[in-house]
Structure 1
Amino acid sequence: MLLFFALGLLVHFVFFASIFDIYFTSPLVHGMTPQFTPLPPPAKRLVLFVADGLRADALYELDEDGKSRAPFIRDVIMHEGSWGISHTRVPTESRPGHVALIAGFYEDVSAVAKGWKENPVEFDSLFNESKYTWSWGSPDILPMFAKGASGDHVYTYSYDAEKEDFGAHDATKLDTWVFDKVQDFFHSARNNQSLFSKVNEEKVVFFLHLLGIDTNGHAHRPSSREYKDNIKKVDGGVKEIVSTFKHFYGDDGKTAFIFTSDHGMTDWGSHGAGHPSETLTPLVAWGAGIKYPQKVSAQQFDDEFLKEWKLENWKRQDVNQADIAPLMASLIGVPFPLNSVGTLPVNYLNNTDLFKAESMFTNAVQILEQFKVKMTQKKEVTLPFLFTPFKLLSHSKQLDILRRARSYIKQEKFVEVVSLCEELIELALKGLSYYHTYDRFFLGINVAVGFVGWTSYASLLIIKSHSNLTRGASKEVKKPHHLLPCSFAAISVLVSCFLLIQACPWTYYVYCLLPVPIWYAVLREFQVIQDLVKSLSAFPLSHFVGYVLIFTLGIELLVLSFFYRYMLTAGLIAFAAWPFLTQLWTRAKITSLSWTFFSLLLAVFPLMPVVGREPDLSLVMGAGLLVLLLSLVVVTTLIKRKITFIKEELLVHLLQMLSTVLSMYVVYSTHNSLLKKQGLPLINQIVSWATLASSLVVPLLSSTILFQRLFSILLSLMSTYLLLSTGYEALFPLVLSCLMFIWIYMEQETLQQSGVSCKQKLTSIQFSCNTDIAQFRQLYLDDIRRAFFLVFFLVTAFFGTGNIASINSFDLASVYCFLTVFSPFMMGALMMWKILIPFVLVMCAFEAVQITTQLSSKGLFLIVLVISDVMALHFFFLVKDYGSWLDIGTSISHYVIVMSMTIFLVFLNGLAQLLTTKKLRLYGKLKSHFM
């Protein structure tokens, strides 16, 4: 059986990894010829300001007094330049946002995981194409453009990462540091002849990365005074820098300025998903080559923003974020970044119609070059009779469009040129997507076939080894026909030859060959399938249909809960009615009422707003007090009932209660300290990390008696969870645990109802590593319900408070008791542990259910595996590569979440067994805890 679980883990890892090969592959190609406009550019130099985390509405809107919080930028909009909205794509994170701005392409999601500061893949950028680039700002952003550049012409100046402190007294210092360093740089250039000559060259870029707004947004939220004051500070700094440039270059009119943002931010201070507050960022351009403001009487925008911002009379020109890269390249006359997929926004250009037409033509050729390389690469590794070219952009069509465009330029039909080039760009981008996803259907079919085969095999193994469904049927084991292994071996050879001829990557061999042994294993169990059919033929058809219908509805409910959290509420309400629909109500009234009460109480959480909207420490304190009260009640009850409760056990519980009190104090004092801008106190940080470290050790000091150990685990994990909470979610694991305790009682009652005798009372059952295998029984149909309950409770633990419903619902304030200095991986790890704590509580309760119902964990785990795989197969077919980027990202993340849950279930099961069965001694000799 151990071999089966190892193989199962490997198979699921392959299925999990397949999504990255199918949907998360890099869109980049190499080998294109650089393209640039053969006309003098309007600007010699470009200044790029990126205000990290700045929302469009926060910049453009007026304050309570009807005044702009960015008066200089607003004055530019009205008197000097052009403005609009830059629409970003998911994920709305700093790295992909800056890559889109500076390199002109939308980085694949996997690149974010491959490296934060380094380049997971080499890509061309505006900085690389420039003569020189000087950049100032965060050490998380600047290095990836410098290390990807050829030669030594991209210079970076970064502050220490420790400055990115969300609990700092004043995060605006991140921006003032940049402004001050730029001023110092130009002061030095006056006295340094070598530097002076460099900054006076053509094709020069200056990049100012301003992180203060993002930091203040995370720490205080975008509605805060700190966030809005930071915008004023940035506006003033931009004004000073513009003045410095004009003074240094003698106001030669050859400097172009771009002010924008990499992404926005939600009202609760996070980003990463596709909410408009995250995807709508400002774009203001002025200076050399930029069109002056245009007054209009009406504009074609459906939103109400223009009236709110009092900008309805100044023409707004929206762009996609990747369009900014070709705009900047066109302004200073450098080749368009080779991997750029942006379309030049010609309406921003203040130049001749010839220049606009030539620039658009260059843009079209540059994207067409990528299409040609992509098509050639795919054609070279595909058998000629299997290759299907992109029909909308054939070779003759390309030549025709280019010839017509060049002819229109000669005839000075510049409007037609722009229109024709836009058509060519649109077709080339569709073609790029076509070849990028060329193998997607082929790989998807192979993975789906393997998925169905694996689920079928797991189901047959359950029936064969853990059930009585085939009892009475033929027990004769027939060896597989010798043609069966020969046939599958021949299929493997044919598939391998097919992949070898097409020079496919090694991962393709895995996805295409894995289904072969899986289906061979399924067909080897043909006798079990025959016996199952015979057994089911004697089963009443109405009962069989009823069970299948209920199982299907249950699976669909779980699938829908990923899209609509309130479906969990519907499921919990159905759970609440369960005792009254069976005979449980007549056997255990108090237990049934308790089950109903806590099911309904837990059903409230999915209806609550996503965690992170507004912090409410009173709820965190209330959860802590409830934990303390519950601790006192349990300890008192155990002593009164004269249950074995030695001094060591009492000491452990007192230690855990003290830990809870300390956690409450740390949460309260940290919150007050950050409000006063005094940062995170060192003693609070030490206590927080100590609590986290001890939370997995202290429960091992308690008794292994079932309820005592489970309660000890709850107390320890709740101390950590309080430190990671900001609001109502602090109550969630407490309510969930109460329901889990009742669940254990309920399952023992259902077992007794079905006629299986329970040998021990719950108050005396112990967790043990050496469970007597003779106590295990075969699986019944009711065990499918138990497995479904586990999966449902795991999904509820995942989505119950909305803290994993989408990337942008993460609230960085959750980790402020541990650290406030920006560290994406450490913060991510802490948030992941917060998510896993309810998982661990459910899995520990499930361990108790297995023991009390005398059920083999292997058999029940196999049912859970089948349910999870059926859900995963649902999401595999629901994955989209069309529609909005939010829809695409959500569909992929659902599959990833379910597959992760299936894989991590093995590790969670191991962690739960460790927490429930292991025993450490606090002092002296290990004392007996047996009755």
Structure 2
Amino acid sequence: MDLHSPKTSSPAKRLVLFVGDGLRADTFYIERQRSPYLRKIIEEKGSWGVSHTRVPTETRPGHVAMIAGFYEDVSSVAKGWKENAVEFDSVFNQSSYTFSFGSFDVVPMFENGVRDGHVKSFVYSEEIYDMAAENPYTLDLTVYNMIKEFLRNATTNSTLNKIVNRDKVVLFIHLLGIDTNGHAYKPHSRQYLDNINVVDDIIKKSVERIEEFYNNDKKTAYVFTADHGMTAWGTHGGGYPSETLTPLVAWGAGVKGPEKSNRKISVEESTWNLDNLVRKDVEQADVAALMAGLIGVNFPANSVGTLPVEYLSGSEKYIADAIFANAKQVSASFEVKMKEKQQTTFSMLFSPYKLLTPSILLNFHRRIIESFKSGNYNTTIKLSKDLIKLSLNGLLYYHHYDRFFLWACITLSFLGLLGYISIVILKNFSNLKAQKFDYTKKYKNLMLYNRILAGFLILITVWAYFNRASLTYQLLVISLFTILYNPAKQLLDGKLRVLWPITCISVAIFPLLPVVGISSQHYLVTSYEAIFFAIYSFLLILWIHVECQLAKIKNIERIHFSRSSISARNLEARDIRIAVAYLIFVTLGFFGIGNIASINSFDVTSTYCFTTILKPFIMGPLIFIKTVLPMLTATCAVYAIHVALSVPLKGLFALILFISDAMAVHFFFMIKDEGSWLDIGTSISHYVVVMTKVLALNLFMLLSKFLTSKHLLFSVGGQTKKSLNKKDF
């Protein structure tokens, strides 16, 4: 695909990009006293607005969007922690030279993979990045020292001096301190706000040194923004406005100055005290187009950004030329996508995007060229914007082109799997003839009530993904089991009938507690996860006793866990109760102390007792273990019930798989790609979580078998003791 750039001389020879990692737009604009230099720029020299990011609001996708103009696939989050090259074309790649300064895990992303080596990185070592440090803003001061040293070397080194004085040079300055303080101390903390002041001072001093180095030639353009924001509880990754709204300030060569405005503003924006100035909002991918337009480089090949012409000053001719180059680049991407779909679809079945057929596209190009040559630049700008909009809509059309076919295939796959599981259960794990003559009217009603209750509890389990409080309702219903269920009243001993509802109600309190937030109270214990796990484990022990007593099994402490001791039998109606209860307990363990259906609810502070250095491959497993431990405990409990009651494990797992897949179908139909980014991200997260859980339960079953059928040996005073006998429960 051909690349396109403005043919007219650009207003800026070089560009400096400042990124305040993790800076929220509202905090930046409200706390104006924290950034006096940038505030003065907004009011006297430059243009400002809000950059709207997309989920996942993580570091790598954010930087790819603003530098490459491309919204990378969600799976890229897993690659964003180490030196993984960005596979897409970028403004840095199109520059004559780019010098990057900042974090070891961000800056090198755009250097690796560049063939001619014209992108150079200067990073600080991983060892100085301590997330629990008292003053994480020292990271930003280290970056500033790198800039000073670089400019000093460029003054004395003739080769470097020639390079930095070329046209189309980019300086990228990544400042990580704000993000680090946000994670460690939260965005409303003194440390976070003080770091904004530090960043403002660093930008001021850096601009002064850069202008001094270039003899104040007024050919440098500056852009300040952030890759993502942050929630009030110090995380990011989701779609809350505090995460998706980031500041954008541009000034210098080619950038329009402040414009007066009498616009109406929201109550929230009124606290910014900028209602007298025009606010210019952009999508995050538009930042890449803005940078390319300012220095006149090729627009990145994969960019879907639109050049925000309201930020540009200078001649109308250049602005028209730049936006036309942008339109040619986006429409070329559209053509590539259209041809790709055309080649993979039967010609008779292919349905092109009717609003931008090849003939319409050709006509657009002809009209834009004619208006530009005739000097009618306003028409050129308008037509180019229209072409970009149609091209982006066309890209979305072809991106969704196979949606119905894929939707139908996935739906049929789910239905086929559910049907297959049903056949397996009926064929291998049921005994319909043996149960036929016991099917009295009373038994029929009891079966009906049991299925209604099971269906009700499953629906509440689905609701738990949207509202954790529903887990409380489930537990309250379950707590009545020993009180209202006649067999339970007859077969359970008095102590168990009392402990069961008390424990259920005790655990039911935890889903009502806030997942995240800020508290002015100070307690000796700052978290309740350990208390939850203790009561949760006790509830599972009670569950084992309840099922055993209902099955009239005594002396469960003497049950052997060896394979030979488990007698084979078919599934019974009560096994449905066990499967439903297991899924409820797994969901309770998953959501009981948090809402991890969203990526931004993983709080790394829980790993600080092990490491405070950003090491995702250490932090990740620690968070994973903390997350799955309650679910693994529930699986051990159901395995114990399998041994005690001789429940066919494959049949029980088939029941669990059937119910889980039914839930997965529900979440599949709820996936959204329209609306707010919060809604889109949440719907995808729910589906991914429930599908992952279906696979994980199988692994948990295997692991629980190992944990409950083996014993540990330990030495005390020279004597070997046995901690858990595989023959004793």
Preserved CA contact (<8 Å) 1:615 1:727: no
Counterpart selection for 1:39 from 3, 8, 16:
8
Say yes or no: does 1:352 pair with 2:146: no
Q: Which moved more, 1:245-254 or 1:869-878?
A: 869-878
Preserved CA contact (<8 Å) 2:475 2:508: yes
Other-structure match for 1:294: 259
Preserved CA contact (<8 Å) 1:123 1:148: no
CA distance in 1, matches of 2:375, 2:71: 34
Rate the CA distance shift 1:304–1:538 in 2: closer, same or farther, 3 A. Answer: same
CA distance in 2, matches of 1:558, 1:141: 39
Q: Which amino acid aligns with 1:156?
A: S
Report Cα offsets for 1:276-313 as digits up to 9, x if no partner: 111111111100011111122224x4x33331121211
Shift of 1:424: 1.7
Other-structure match for 1:673: none
* Correspondence list, 1:324-343, <5 A: 324-343=287-306
Say yes or no: does 1:166 pair with 2:126: no
Give SS of 1:822's match: coil
Shift of 1:537: 12
Q: Which amino acid aligns with 2:474?
A: G
Say yes or no: does 1:138 pair with 2:103: yes
Other-structure match for 1:656: none
Say yes or no: does 1:50 pair with 2:6: no
Other-structure match for 2:562: 769
Preserved CA contact (<8 Å) 1:611 1:810: no
Rate the CA distance shift 1:537–1:329 in 2: closer, same or farther, 3 A. Answer: farther
Preserved CA contact (<8 Å) 2:597 2:689: no
Rate the CA distance shift 1:541–1:882 in 2: closer, same or farther, 3 A. Answer: farther
Report Cα offsets for 1:863-891 as digits up to 9, x if no partner: 11111111112222222233333322222
Other-structure match for 1:708: none
Other-structure match for 2:354: 391
Other-structure match for 2:78: 113
Counterpart selection for 2:632 from 813, 835, 840:
840
Rate the CA distance shift 1:387–1:537 in 2: closer, same or farther, 3 A. Answer: farther
CA distance in 2, matches of 1:615, 1:747: 44
CA distance in 2, matches of 1:120, 1:432: 25
Shift of 1:381: 2.3
Say yes or no: does 1:866 pair with 2:658: yes
Q: Which amino acid aligns with 1:403?
A: R
Counterpart selection for 2:537 from 714, 737, 762:
737
Report Cα offsets for 1:136-163 as digits up to 9, x if no partner: 1111111221124341211111111122
CA distance in 1, matches of 2:438, 2:404: 38
Other-structure match for 2:600: 808
Report Cα offsets for 1:349-390 as digits up to 9, x if no partner: 112222222222111111000010111122122221222222
RMSD: 2.4
Shift of 1:422: 2.2
* Correspondence list, 1:636-655, <5 A: none
Q: Which moved more, 1:124-133 or 1:852-861?
A: 852-861
Other-structure match for 1:561: 464
CA distance in 2, matches of 1:253, 1:327: 18
Give SS of 2:663's match: helix
Other-structure match for 1:444: 407
Shift of 1:619: 6.2
Rate the CA distance shift 1:925–1:570 in 2: closer, same or farther, 3 A. Answer: closer
Shift of 1:899: 1.5
Identity of aligned residues (%): 46
CA distance in 1, matches of 2:377, 2:449: 69
Preserved CA contact (<8 Å) 2:14 2:167: yes
Other-structure match for 2:495: 590
CA distance in 2, matches of 1:454, 1:290: 59
Report Cα offsets for 1:762-818 as digits up to 9, x if no partner: 33334x2334233x4322112101100001111111111224132112212110000
Report Cα offsets for 1:174-227 as digits up to 9, x if no partner: 111111111111111111111111111110000001111111111111112111
* Correspondence list, 1:603-642, <5 A: 603-611=508-516, 613=518, 618=523, 620=525
* Correspondence list, 1:474-553, <5 A: 546-553=449-456
Preserved CA contact (<8 Å) 2:537 2:633: yes
Report Cα offsets for 1:402-424 as digits up to 9, x if no partner: 22323333444433333332222
Preserved CA contact (<8 Å) 2:64 2:86: no
Other-structure match for 1:314: 277
Give SS of 1:922's match: strand
Counterpart selection for 1:209 from 150, 169, 174:
174
* Correspondence list, 1:779-818, <5 A: 779-818=571-610
Counterpart selection for 1:252 from 217, 223, 234:
217
Other-structure match for 2:646: 854
Other-structure match for 1:579: 482
Say yes or no: does 1:916 pair with 2:726: no
Rate the CA distance shift 1:40–1:305 in 2: closer, same or farther, 3 A. Answer: farther
Gaps of 5+ in 1: 1-31, 474-533, 621-725, 753-757
CA distance in 1, matches of 2:520, 2:585: 26
Preserved CA contact (<8 Å) 1:779 1:859: yes
Q: Which amino acid aligns with 1:765?
A: I
CA distance in 1, matches of 2:404, 2:130: 46
Say yes or no: does 1:234 pair with 2:193: no
Give SS of 1:433's match: helix
Q: Which amino acid aligns with 1:440?
A: R
Other-structure match for 2:384: 421
Shift of 1:609: 1.4
Report Cα offsets for 1:563-620 as digits up to 9, x if no partner: 2222212211111122222112354343222211121222222222114655988464
Shift of 1:540: 8.1
CA distance in 1, matches of 2:339, 2:505: 60
Give SS of 1:599's match: helix
Other-structure match for 2:372: 409
Counterpart selection for 1:87 from 52, 60, 63:
52
CA distance in 1, matches of 2:104, 2:328: 35
CA distance in 2, matches of 1:749, 1:731: 27
Report Cα offsets for 1:69-118 as digits up to 9, x if no partner: 11101010111101111111101110000000100011111122245434
Shift of 1:544: 6.3
Give SS of 1:906's match: helix
CA distance in 2, matches of 1:351, 1:438: 41
Shift of 1:400: 2.4
Give SS of 2:22's match: coil
CA distance in 1, matches of 2:457, 2:236: 33
Q: Which moved more, 1:137-146 or 1:880-889?
A: 880-889
Gaps of 5+ in 2: none
Rate the CA distance shift 1:925–1:47 in 2: closer, same or farther, 3 A. Answer: closer
- Which TM-score applies when normalising by structure 1? 0.74
Shift of 1:238: 0.6
Alignment length (residue pairs): 721
Preserved CA contact (<8 Å) 1:87 1:320: yes
* Correspondence list, 1:64-83, <5 A: 68-83=33-48
Give SS of 2:480's match: helix
Give SS of 2:223's match: strand
Rate the CA distance shift 1:117–1:773 in 2: closer, same or farther, 3 A. Answer: closer
Preserved CA contact (<8 Å) 2:23 2:246: yes
Shift of 1:429: 1.2
CA distance in 1, matches of 2:439, 2:332: 62
Give SS of 2:558's match: coil
CA distance in 2, matches of 1:836, 1:801: 12
Preserved CA contact (<8 Å) 1:614 1:727: no
CA distance in 2, matches of 1:545, 1:400: 67
